[in-house]
Amino acid sequence: MQDKAGKKTSSRSSFFKELGRSISSSWGRFLAIMGIAALGCGFYAGLQMTGMDMRLSADSLYDQTQLYDIRLLSTLGLSDEQVDELRHRDGIEAAMGTYSIDVMANLNDEQYAMRIESLSPELKDQSDGFELVRASALDLHNGEYAQGEQTEAAATNDGIQTQTAATKQAQALNYLVLTQGRFPQTPNECVMSGDRIMGHPIQLGDKVQVLSGVGDIDEQLQERDFEVVGLVSSSVYVSSTNLGPTSIGSGKIEQFMYVVPESFDEDFPISQVYMSVKGARAELAESDSYDDVVARVVQELEADSSRIADDRLAKLKEEAQDTLEEKRQEFDTERDDAYKKLDEAKQELTDAEKELADAEQELADGQQSYDDGVREFEDGKAEFDEQRGVWEQTRSGLTSQRQALVAQQTELEQTRSQLIAAQSQLQAQQAQAAQSQAALAQASQLATQAQQLAAQLAQVEAGLQQVAAGIAQIDAGISEGDTQIVQAQVKIAESQEQLESARLELEQGKRDYEKGLKEYNEGLETYEKERVEAEEKIADAQKKLDDAQTDIDELEAPEIYVLDRTRNPGAESYQQDSERIDNIAQVFPLIFFLVAALVALTTMTRMVEDERQEIGTYKALGYGTARITAKYLAYAALAGGIGAFIGIAILSQILPYIISVAYDIMYSVPIMAFPLPINIPIALTAAALGVGVMLVATWAAAASTLRESPAQLMLPRAPKAGKRILLEHIGPLWRRTSFSWKVSLRNLFRYKRRLAMTIIGIAGCTALLLTGLGLHDSIWDIIDKQFGEIVHYDAVISLDDDADEDVHLRVEEMIAEASESDAMIRTMMLNRQLGSDSHAPISSQVVVPQSNDDMKSLIHLRQRHGAIPIELDASGVVLSEKLSSLLGVSAGDSVRIYEQDDIGNAVGSGKEVRVAAVCENYVYNYCYIDQDLYRELYAGEPIFSTILAKIDTGEEVRSQLAQKLHDVDEIDTVSYNDEVIDSYRKSLRSVNMIVVVLVVAAAALAFIVLYNLTNINIVERTREIASLKVLGFTPHEVNAYVNRETLLLTGIGAAFGLILGTIMEEFVVISSEVDLVMFGREIHPPSFIIAFVVTLGFSLVVMLFMRRKLSSIDMVESLKSVD
Amino acid sequence: MSFVEFHDVCKLYQMGEVEVRAVDGMNFSIEQGEFCVIVGPSGAGKTTVLNMLGGMDTVSSGDILLEGKAISANNERDMTMYRRHDVGFVFQFYNLVQNLTALENVELASQICDDPLDPAEVLGQVGLSHRLDNFPAQLSGGEQQRVAIARALAKNPKLLLCDEPTGALDYETGKQILQLLQQTCRETGKTVVLITHNTAFEQIADRIIRIRGGRADSVETNEHPQDASVLEW
């Protein structure tokens, strides 16, 4: 036993010793196998793991930022209760409602379609919680996902507070990663994307001005101006080129910003609910098991979505009904008030009317009495006048009586005076007579006379008295008459005055009446008017109420969209890109494995041949075939295994890293830190495939030799006989071929394995080069052809649909001033979706030019093959190439044009239209429609509100123009293609990296294969080479003799490689193309030349290496004996 | 002045620590047109002598003169030119290019020379006019050696060097080859140097150089060399 064991050990140790010597005596061979194994396995594993690593990286980002699994969107918003309900659904881990709207906004003089979203409103009243959200930002700068919640929780000792905060926190999803600045605190602050590659970079402090949106912005937002206070990275938008669809602007979201919930209007409802699914986080994002977990919840939600919609509808109806009822009551009250007021006014008017009637009566009465008065007065006056006439007569009679009396008086007085005088005389005579008694007689006479005289006097006196009485009587009469007259006169004057004042009063009364009447009439009119108005208003209000009621009654349930991550453009396109790499990973390593197998086969065949005699000896000594084969298998396994290990270890780090770096330009998914995880199943598969292939090749190489008998093996194998090749039968050609070429040609066909290995290897090398270069061509063609050959406008200016002709002309004038070529055209641009029988609708831009001819100078519609121009006419639409190929339609088929909603769904049943032609196009999907066809299709006039213009006067002029255009209110957006081109350039730069990877791989492949080939060639033909040297061939001639073969094979291989490369490039292009972009379909001629020449270059480098080996061949040693 | 002269030629090989003197002060000369046989036991240094004479190896010291010209002073390139124009080699194992026909093997040599003989004619001379288009594998050993001789002759060299040309051949065939070489020497006047360990060949030589221990033990001329056809060994 012991003995046996000892023997075994020694036999085993001799086995290993021998193996060790085999290796150390042939490092070149060992390294060649190792190298090709490393390359094959490494490439396979590296590429396979790239997709995996990308997904892992995304998964880690999504998990750490708590990216939602499901987004539930309602076209009519959702209530807080519904958010709560969703939160407590089975399978839902957390739910977060946010406010969100899409707007056009101005930022740095550029306009963007922007999505404004609120940070978690769950925390809106919780200032500490809110802080937590801010703090929970993942710190990318430090390369760590520092979750604020934990640090915060650890920092605060207030358990309860932290717990509530944490509970709230637990409902927050879609954490933002703050890369710069801080989070918004006030309604007029915001954070924006720091990852954008479109347009100018955003700086802290930049101002965003919201211009327009869907509906009344002021009812949706509290603020219209925001200041950028921070830059963030959001896992909701990992793709910086594809943020998702929207119904505004160009149809694509170009920017996003987050604001505090207070930035939204109080009454604005929650737009969407983000949810995470229990158990989903544990699964790898987007893996099948993840999809299973989420799909279940999605299905339930979808099944429930009509109920959610109904609930929302019911709630909205209820709210609306409540509001309506309130309004209705308000209306009723107001109507009643109005009617009451009207009635009062009416009453007042009636009163006034009555008053007026009274006044009128009074006036009439007044008039009447006045008229009576006047008549009376007239009568009185007439009487008076009559009386006065009578009086005048009377008076004049009286006066004449008086005069007569006065005359009588005067006479009487004269008489009296005479009498007095006579009396006096008498008295004097008496007196004298008294003195003269004598005269007594005379006295008596005198006395008688006196007596007579006295009598006479008395008589006169009496007469006088009578007259005086008469006069007095007359005077009294006159006076009385006069008095009476005067009195009558006064009376008349008085009554006249009275009449006058009565008249004035009457007139005043009349005027008052008129005024009153007028007022009344006016009042009446006003009343009528007001009444009509009021009634109209009431009717209006009533109608509004009725309408509102109808609206409420007719209110339709909202659309509820349950969107999983496949509907998140960033996550989905990242996922697809990673799967594209998987596709490529399936194909590329094939070449390496094939070459690895051939390298192993040729190398091991050579090794077995080298050790032919040794094998014979072993066989003769009684070793079994298996034991002998084992050595070679062990050798191959060791070389392959070590190579596979090294290759996998290195390339599974480098390849994913390089490709991730390339994708990093387009995605904000962070690159994983070294060391990247090594996926054991993939690594083992790769190694097993690589080593397996080698073992099979080795076994095949050993088997044929081992079949020979030991005796045969002991003899040197007869040199492989020379053979005539087909070419020799072409006499003239063959005769002109030099010997060296003859040998080379014959050699090529003598060693078929080597021929296959070399041709396939070199073909692989050239193919890789061509793929790399072709990819480069294809991708840069996107820009060069799209913006160099097809699209010739560089500015897109869109105006409001209702902008009038003047504005158009003004804008066009502005453009013409700035542009040298003043080529421009008005078009109608619409965001639509196009679908076909075989394919679901795809977002596309519908372009209706105002003039098909004018468009030619700005958009070259042509077929790609042969660049044949396409005429746009009413016979059908012209589709861009990628669109038509996606839809699976060609000229003559028909497509349907659908409207597109906010989240990128086709709406309605669409319009069917014939496809007239397919035009070359690389970026985005277009559908060109002739305006007549449009009219026919939509039964309406197209509105040409988008101006495409060529502004070829440099950036400065353009930005000035942009400034000027922004001042025109009717302009919605101004965008320049160079921004688009720029962003494409940036995103395509990543391709160069891939090209480098391919070139390096190609070089490695070429070196291994060519080194191996040349090495075997030289080793195998040492004698031949030595003979040539002896014959006097110069080193140069010897090199040429050997290298001619290599060169020839390289040439043939490279030629095959060009074919293979063309196929491979097409495969890569097709499998890496995204929906919106068509890569160039042609590999440029220089690329073919470069690929070919570089391959020859590689082979020349190998030849240079081999020079030394050739010159070191010792003639003497080589010719001594048969090897 | 002889046609070929060796003056104190030494050849040292460094085998690790040990210095091996393969040729140690070799002196001899060969006249033009002679059929010279160099004999010696294995390890005597005869192949080294031939290699140095054929320009395949350099001397460590001493001079080798051909027609008074010191070929031992040649540089790499001159040496190649020397091999190309002045020397024809015949090996024990023929060293034909397997992938070329008999004619092509001869042409391979003649194409690089200034004044070659017609390959087909030469092959005719060695009796192979009927096998011009055969590949080496289709020829017998003797035929292959004839092709090798024809290839050496076609260059029209001054010197024909043969290293055990019969070593891999059977007796009869070997004899025919010796005959051919002797005949060639006689008819074309070429100087033929043949090395062998077989002393029997001394009989057909004009000059016999015996080598032992890296030195020329004796140099003899044979006034009446035997005809190769009657040689027996």
Q: Residue A343 pLDDT more than 80? A: yes
Q: Residue A166 pLDDT more than 60? A: no
Query: Would you call B135 and A1037 a contact, using CB atoms and an 8 Å cutoff?
Result: no
- pLDDT, chain A, mean: 80
Q: Residue A1088 pLDDT more than 90? A: yes
**B199-226 pLDDT per residue, tens:** 888 888 889 998 888 888 888 888 888 8
**Maximum average pLDDT range among A4-8, A81-85, A121-125, A958-962:** A81-85
**Residue given tokens 């891939």 in the structure block:** A994
Q: Considering only alpha carbons, which residue of chain B is nearest residue A1037?
A: B112
Cβ-based contacts under 8 A for chains A and B: 93
A833 φ/ψ angles, rounded to the nearest 5 degrees: -125, 140
Return d(Cα B43, Cα B24) in angstroms, integer.
12
Q: Please, which pLDDT band fits residue A150 given cuts at 50, 70 and 90?
A: very low
**A728-748 pLDDT per residue, tens:** 777 777 777 777 777 777 777
- Assess if residue B4 is contained within a domain: no
DSSP string, A629-675: HHHHHHHHHHHHHHHHHHHHHHHHHHHHHHHHHHHHTTB-PPPPPSS
Burial of A215 (0-12, 13-18, 19+ CB in 10 A): exposed
Which strands make up the sheet holding B61-66, listed edge to edge?
B18-30, B4-15, B61-66, B69-70
Q: Residue A790 pLDDT more than 60? A: yes
Burial A599-626 (b: 16+ CB within 10 A, else e): bbbbbbbbbbbbbbebbbebbeeebeee
**A36-91 pLDDT per residue, tens:** 888 888 888 888 888 888 888 888 888 888 889 999 988 888 888 888 888 888 88
Pairing of strands A270-277, A92-98: antiparallel
Residues of B in contact with A1033 (CB under 8 A): 80, 84, 112
Per-residue confidence (pLDDT) for residue A642, from 0 to 100: 92
Q: Which residues contact A746 (CB under 8 A, 6 or more apart)?
A: A722, A723, A724, A725, B99, B100
Q: Mean pLDDT across the stretch B83-101?
A: 84
CA distance to partner chain B, nearest, from residue A661 (Å)? 53
**Residue given tokens 């690895």 in the structure block:** A596
State whether residue A869 is helix, strand or coil: strand
Give A264's DSSP letter: B
Query: Would you call A1026 and B101 a contact, using CB atoms and an 8 Å cutoff?
Result: no
Per-residue confidence (pLDDT) for residue A129, from 0 to 100: 36
Residue B83 is nearest to which of A738, A1030, A1119, comparing CB atoms?
A1030
Which tokens in the block code for residue A828?
Answer: 């109608």
Question: A104, A213 in Cβ contact below 8 A?
Answer: yes
- The region that residue A384 occupies, defined by phi over 0 for left and psi between -120 and 50 for alpha, beta otherwise, is alpha
Question: A230, A176 in Cβ contact below 8 A?
Answer: no
Q: Which residues contact B223 (CB under 8 A, 6 or more apart)?
A: none
Q: Mean pLDDT across the stretch A797-820?
A: 82
Percent of chain A with pLDDT over 70: 89
Of B130, B231, B224, which is closest to residue B178 (Cα–Cα)?
B231
Per-residue confidence (pLDDT) for residue A915, from 0 to 100: 92
CA distance to partner chain B, nearest, from residue A884 (Å)? 58
Of A27, A185, A1053, A1112, which is closest to residue A642 (Cα–Cα)?
A27
Question: Beta-carbon neighbour count of residue B14 at 10 Å?
Answer: 8
Per-residue confidence (pLDDT) for residue A434, from 0 to 100: 65
ipTM: 0.88
Chain B interface disruption, residue of A739, A740, A1112, most B CBs within 10 A: A739
Return d(Cα A925, Cα A786) in angstroms, integer.
12
Query: Would you call B137 and A722 a contact, using CB atoms and an 8 Å cutoff?
Result: yes
- Assess if residue B66 is contained within a domain: no
Per-residue confidence (pLDDT) for residue A929, from 0 to 100: 92
Query: Would you call A1115 and B111 a contact, using CB atoms and an 8 Å cutoff?
Result: no
Q: What is the 3-class SS of chain B, one letter each residue?
A: CCCEEEEEEEEEEEECCEEEEEEEEEEEEECCCCEEEEECCCCCCHHHHHHHHCCCCCCCEEEEEECCEEHHHCCHHHHHHHHHHHEEEECCCCCCCCCCCHHHHHHHHHCCCCCCCCHHHHHHHCCCCCCCCCCHHHCCHHHHHHHHHHHHHHCCCCEEEEECCCCCCCHHHHHHHHHHHHHHHHHHCCEEEEEECCHHHHHHCCEEEEEECCEEEEEEECCCCCCHHHCCC
Question: Beta-carbon neighbour count of residue B118 at 10 Å?
Answer: 13
Q: Which residues contact A241 (CB under 8 A, 6 or more apart)?
A: A197, A198, A666, A983, A987
Per-residue confidence (pLDDT) for residue A121, from 0 to 100: 54
Per-residue confidence (pLDDT) for residue A990, from 0 to 100: 66
CA triple A456-A461-A465, angle to 5 deg: 150
Question: B156, B128 in Cβ contact below 8 A?
Answer: no
Q: Please, which pLDDT band fits residue A918 given cuts at 50, 70 and 90?
A: very high
Return d(Cα A698, Cα A628) in angstroms, integer.
12
CA dihedral A536, A540, A546, A547 (to 10 degrees): 150
Give A915's DSSP letter: E
Return d(Cα A927, Cα A828) in angstroms, integer.
12
Which tokens in the block code for residue A898?
Answer: 């659908």
Return d(Cα A227, Cα A37) in angstroms, integer.
57
Per-residue confidence (pLDDT) for residue A156, from 0 to 100: 35
Question: A300, A122 in Cβ contact below 8 A?
Answer: no
**Residue given tokens 């009551």 in the structure block:** A329
Q: What is the 3-class SS of A478-542, one letter each residue?
A: HHHHHHHHHHHHHHHHHHHHHHHHHHHHHHHHHHHHHHHHHHHHHHHHHHHHHHHHHHHHHHHHH
Query: Would you call B95 and A1023 a contact, using CB atoms and an 8 Å cutoff?
Result: yes
Residue B107 is nearest to which of A718, A739, A1034, comparing CB atoms?
A739
Per-residue confidence (pLDDT) for residue A927, from 0 to 100: 92
Percent of chain A with pLDDT over 90: 5
Of A108, A106, A118, A101, which is closest to residue A246 (Cα–Cα)?
A101
Return d(Cα A1118, Cα B100) in angstroms, integer.
20
Q: Please, which pLDDT band fits residue A433 given cuts at 50, 70 and 90?
A: low
DSSP H or E stretch at residue A1037? helix A1035-1072
Which is higher by pLDDT, A409 or A898?
A898
**Residue given tokens 């062990």 in the structure block:** A634
Query: What type of residue is A489?
Result: Q
Q: Please, which pLDDT band fits residue A169 given cuts at 50, 70 and 90?
A: low
- The region that residue B68 occupies, defined by phi over 0 for left and psi between -120 and 50 for alpha, beta otherwise, is left
CA distance to partner chain B, nearest, from residue A747 (Å)? 7
Burial of A694 (0-12, 13-18, 19+ CB in 10 A): buried
Residues of B in contact with A1026 (CB under 8 A): 95
Q: Mean pLDDT across the stretch B165-169?
A: 82
**A969-1024 pLDDT per residue, tens:** 777 777 777 767 776 776 667 667 777 877 888 888 888 888 887 888 787 778 88
| CB contact B101 to A (< 8 Å) | yes
Question: Beta-carbon neighbour count of residue A1034 at 10 Å?
Answer: 17
Question: A877, A927 in Cβ contact below 8 A?
Answer: yes
Q: Residue A691 pLDDT more than 50? A: yes
Give A718's DSSP letter: P
Burial of A550 (0-12, 13-18, 19+ CB in 10 A): exposed
**Domain with B171 in it: what CATH number?**
3.40.50.300
Per-residue confidence (pLDDT) for residue A63, from 0 to 100: 86
- Assess if residue B68 is contained within a domain: no
Query: Would you call B56 and A1035 a contact, using CB atoms and an 8 Å cutoff?
Result: no
Which tokens in the block code for residue A829?
Answer: 């641009």
Question: A603, A761 in Cβ contact below 8 A?
Answer: no
Burial of A1066 (0-12, 13-18, 19+ CB in 10 A): middle
Query: Would you call B151 and A1031 a contact, using CB atoms and an 8 Å cutoff?
Result: yes
- Assess if residue B182 is contained within a domain: yes
Of A116, A113, A117, A102, which is closest to residue A273 (Cα–Cα)?
A117
Q: Residue A147 pLDDT more than 70? A: no
Question: B200, B232 in Cβ contact below 8 A?
Answer: yes
DSSP H or E stretch at residue A849? strand A842-849
Residues of B in contact with A1024 (CB under 8 A): 95, 97-98
**Maximum average pLDDT range among A406-420, A547-561, A824-838, A990-1004:** A824-838
Which is higher by pLDDT, B115 or A1117?
B115
Query: Would you call B137 and A747 a contact, using CB atoms and an 8 Å cutoff?
Result: no
Q: Please, which pLDDT band fits residue A866 given cuts at 50, 70 and 90?
A: confident
Query: Would you call A743 and B99 a contact, using CB atoms and an 8 Å cutoff?
Result: yes
Return d(Cα A253, Cα A245) in angstroms, integer.
6
Both ends of chain B: CA-CA distance in Å? 35
- Which range marks the domain in which residue B95 is found? 31-61+75-230
Q: Residue A1065 pLDDT more than 70? A: yes
Q: Please, which pLDDT band fits residue A1059 given cuts at 50, 70 and 90?
A: very high
| CB contact B89 to A (< 8 Å) | yes
Return d(Cα A936, Cα A787) in angstroms, integer.
32
Q: What is the 3-class SS of A197-233, one letter each residue?
A: CCCCCCCCCCEEEEEEECCCHHHHECCCEEEEEEEEE
Query: Would you call B97 and A1027 a contact, using CB atoms and an 8 Å cutoff?
Result: yes
Per-residue confidence (pLDDT) for residue A813, from 0 to 100: 85
Q: Residue A162 pLDDT more than 80? A: no
Q: Mean pLDDT across the stretch A792-799?
A: 84
Q: Please, which pLDDT band fits residue A153 given cuts at 50, 70 and 90?
A: very low
Return d(Cα A1115, Cα B52) in angstroms, integer.
12
Of B136, B220, B95, which is closest to residue A722 (Cα–Cα)?
B136
Question: Beta-carbon neighbour count of residue A302 at 10 Å?
Answer: 15
Q: Residue A154 pLDDT more than 60? A: no
CA triple A713-A717-A721, angle to 5 deg: 150
**A549-559 pLDDT per residue, tens:** 888 888 888 88
Query: Would you call B98 and A1026 a contact, using CB atoms and an 8 Å cutoff?
Result: no
Q: Please, which pLDDT band fits residue A124 given cuts at 50, 70 and 90?
A: very low
Write down the H helix ranges in A731-751.
Answer: 731-735, 739-750
Q: Please, which pLDDT band fits residue A314 given cuts at 50, 70 and 90?
A: confident
Q: Please, which pLDDT band fits residue A240 given cuts at 50, 70 and 90?
A: confident
Residue B137 is nearest to which of A719, A1034, A1122, comparing CB atoms?
A719
Count structural domains, chain B. Answer: 1
Per-residue confidence (pLDDT) for residue A436, from 0 to 100: 61
Q: Please, which pLDDT band fits residue A681 given cuts at 50, 70 and 90?
A: confident
Per-residue confidence (pLDDT) for residue B185, from 0 to 100: 87
Burial A741-766 (b: 16+ CB within 10 A, else e): bbbbbbbbebbebbbbbbbbbbbbbb
- Assess if residue B131 is contained within a domain: yes
- Assess if residue B7 is contained within a domain: no
Pairing of strands A189-193, A225-234: parallel
Of A120-129, A1061-1070, B115-124, B165-174, give the lowest mean pLDDT range. Answer: A120-129
